[in-house]
Structure 1
Amino acid sequence: MWQLLPPAAWLLLVSADIRADFSKAVVDLDPVWDRVLKNDSVTLKCKGTYPVEDNSTKWWHNGTLTSKQTSSYLIENAQVEDSGEYNCQTGLSAPSNPVKLEVHEGWLLLQTPQRVVNAGKPIHLKCHSWKNTTVVKVQYFQNGRGKKFFRQNSDFRIPEAQLEHSGSYFCRGIIGTKNESSESVQITVVQDVKSSQTVSSFFPPWHQITFCLVMGLLFAVDTWLYFSAQRDLRSSEEWRDGKVTWSKGP
């Protein structure tokens, strides 16, 4: 059955499969940090396609279906047990990829929207305090060495990340009379993916090559069958309309 499908039908099936991948729901964090302190508030937002007049959403926490059915999942006064992976699904979308949330205890927490950064992209670090308590004399460290000092708490930004910016980061500051430090966070800077995409444009993946070869073979077979049928049809018409002449052999 499948072998008899023309190339156009195969292309429609492949494009339908690609569209199915694009219909997967997506979970966004607001604010963007995936590491928060105890008693912080965070909202997870599900983005997907909904049926008409049906905005119900399914939410999973560590693989268990929750009672939440709204597109926004609000976590107030986050606790350590709220840590884990969150997935969502809308009525016309596939389940999303998991988003991991970490709830920590302590006075200071180093936050960053991305722990793997492409070279040339910015690095954003925030020294977050418990219940936004005032912090002064804040210093950021990379691999144990001081990188930036602020008299008042401020975010530390590196406009264009380079490979040497990879490393272990933490922050330190004064809260009241105490000198507090955050846990370390590993940040990795990788080569920009554009270069690899340029190479792949010259050398496409094997599955793409195989697909093109199969499509070409199917097109050739389909074309041969078409012209063969046309030739047989013309032969039958000539036999029906023409005259048969007998000649005596030698």
Structure 2
Amino acid sequence: MWQLLPPAALLLLVSADTRAADLSKAVVLLDPQWNQVLKNDRVTLKCQGDYPVEDNSTKWWHNGTLISSQTSSYFIADAKVEDSGEYKCQTGLSALSDPVKLEVHASWLLLQVTQRVVNVGKPIHLKCHSWKKTTVAKVQYFQNGRGKKYFHQNSDFYIPEAKLEHSGSYFCRGIIGTKNESSESVQIIVQGLGNLQTVSSFYPPWHQITFCLVMGLLFAVDTGLYFSVQRHLRNSEEWRNGKVTWSKGP
């Protein structure tokens, strides 16, 4: 099939494939930034991507099912446990986004973290979030069962530069009314520089491989055409005394 296409057509196919591969992915952002929230919280998911002129329609998926919203922001005014799951979006000039997972919990306290896997040297941000923003006093943060930070009033816990020893199981505890409430535990992993390399760094992206294969095929087709023309010329010519004479065919 490829041999029936002229080189110009093959170049157009390569160009189209390259444009498709270069299409940037849309990105789903959470506002607030936490992907763990409590029941009745308000959550906004925003889709960032390129749009055609005068067309800002956006497609949203929840757990693989297309949902009705077509605006660039998807609002959840009163979060329910059923709203948990993976969200994706796509704009007119972007590829489908990577999934963002939203967790809706039903409890009094929830430990929110910006990232569960953190690179060495990066900050760690923890928040002891209460249901309907109820007042919490005497808040304490724990790592692997040991107290790490205490606040008379509810405050966020910051670790400016993560170290390997900051890995572990975290939870928070505080007083709500007359009750001592605790959150569920969250596992945080701090990875060293030796773990930052991924398999993708050793292999080129698939579209680069496709481009190289097609260009190699183009070179092979052009080479074949060149030698085919040379053979035809040799069969049609007679070389005598350094001169070329043409014989008339039947």
* TM-score bin (small chain): 0.7 to 0.9
Runs of 5+ consecutive residues of structure 2 not aligned to the other structure: 246-250
Q: C-alpha distance in 2, partners of 1:219/1:68?
A: 45
1:70-219 matches, within 5 Å, as 70-192=71-193, 196=197, 204=203, 214=213, 218=217
* Aligned CA-pair RMSD: 3.6
Q: C-alpha distance in 2, partners of 1:222/1:164?
A: 59
Q: C-alpha distance in 1, partners of 2:194/2:7?
A: 37
- Say which is worse superposed, 188-197 or 176-185, in terms of deviation: 188-197
Say if 1:118 and 1:190, in contact at 8 Å, map to a contact too.
yes
Identity %: 64
- The structural deviation recorded for 1:53 is 1.5
Shift in CA distance, 11/163, structure 1 to aligned 2, threshold 3 Å: farther
In the alignment, which residue of structure 2 is the partner of 1:68?
Answer: 69
Instruction: Look up the SS of the partner of 1:68 in the other structure.
Output: coil
Runs of 5+ consecutive residues of structure 1 not aligned to the other structure: 245-250
Q: C-alpha distance in 1, partners of 2:160/2:80?
A: 33
**TM-score normalised over the length of structure 2:** 0.77
- The structural deviation recorded for 1:228 is 4.7
Q: C-alpha distance in 2, partners of 1:85/1:6?
A: 44
User: How many residues are treated as equivalent by the alignment?
Assistant: 240
- The structural deviation recorded for 1:195 is 5.6
Say if 1:110 and 1:185, in contact at 8 Å, map to a contact too.
yes
Residue type of the partner of 2:152?
Answer: R
Residue type of the partner of 2:48?
Answer: K
More strand by share: 2
Q: C-alpha distance in 2, partners of 1:5/1:188?
A: 55
In the alignment, which residue of structure 2 is the partner of 1:19?
Answer: 22
Instruction: Look up the SS of the partner of 1:164 in the other structure.
Output: helix
**TM-score normalised over the length of structure 1:** 0.77
Shift in CA distance, 211/52, structure 1 to aligned 2, threshold 3 Å: closer
Q: C-alpha distance in 2, partners of 1:196/1:148?
A: 33
